[in-house]
Amino acid sequence: MECMKKMGEITHHRIKTNGIWMHVAEKGEGPVVLLLHGFPEFWFSWRHQITYLTNHGYRVLVPDLRGYGNSDAPPSPSSYTIFHIVADLIGVLDHFNQQQVFVVGHDWGAHAAWHLGLFRPDRVKGIVALSVVFSARSPDISPIQSLTKSFGDSFYMTQFQESGRAERAFAKYDCLTLMKKFLLINHGDVLVAPPGMEIIDHLQIPSSLPPWITEDELQVYADKFQETGFTGGLNYYRAIDLNWELQAPWQGAKIRVPSKLIVGDKDIGYESWKKAYVHGDVMKGLIPGVEVVIMEGHHFIQLEKHQEVSDHILSFLNKLA
């Protein structure tokens, strides 16, 4: 497809790491930047940043995280803890003989970036996280219990907990429609369906595509998820409470790696809770010195505002490099 050709020549690797086979796209020469995607995406979501960063003297490594794209997808949700994800990434760095790299993540990729910096700060030069904050761990209540208490049983993460439920709901639609429902979310409300409705049925498709994505690009996502299905990606949500249990020893631990957070002002849940957290003392206490950028935009900010986001990433990397 034309959108693939625009990136120029990409080298694709299939490597063994942490007991799975992982696909990694690579391009460029220079200091290494690890680009980590979220749900429901794969390496292709970084197409704008791949071109931009490699044109400005950086080398990018862009994996399909476990469960996605051409990487292995273990069936059990217990294989998707943050410890598995971070271990996968350490294996990628070891494979490419990189002792320390910059890490840029969006959505679940941001969650992985934060925890790579938390668990292995010796391997991280700096973090840029898009759309997802590093959250304080409650010592008393698990995240899914807390979120369900706040938003009810129709909250999307709550619906995603039951194995097979979301997959059955998704199966009513073709993959292109599913991609439009997710990637084109254009409201900042918390994702809660009306009682008795599945969240995928509640999500609307805009009458026309926004200027930042094409039908061809959406089809690339659709074709990949037609191959893989969605269970791998959904298993990240199903491991949320297990992560909470396993991370008890890191209660209150700080991220001391230089960090930057970029959030859209119309991101999911920004007004209802994220805004207060981002500008409050708790997050700043957990990530001393974190830079915060709030820009106009929605959740998939690296696509919608790709030039502005790329400029912010580059300025942060250049400052540290």
- The catalytic residues are 107, 237, 299
C-alpha distances (whole Å) from 37 to each of 106, 128, 145 are 5, 12, 26
- Cα 108 to Cα 41: distance, rounded to the nearest angstrom: 10
Establish how many alpha carbons lie within 13 A of residue 97's alpha carbon, considering only the half-sphere containing its beta carbon.
0
Contact between 100 and 122 (Cβ < 8 Å)? yes
- Cα 220 to Cα 102: distance, rounded to the nearest angstrom: 27
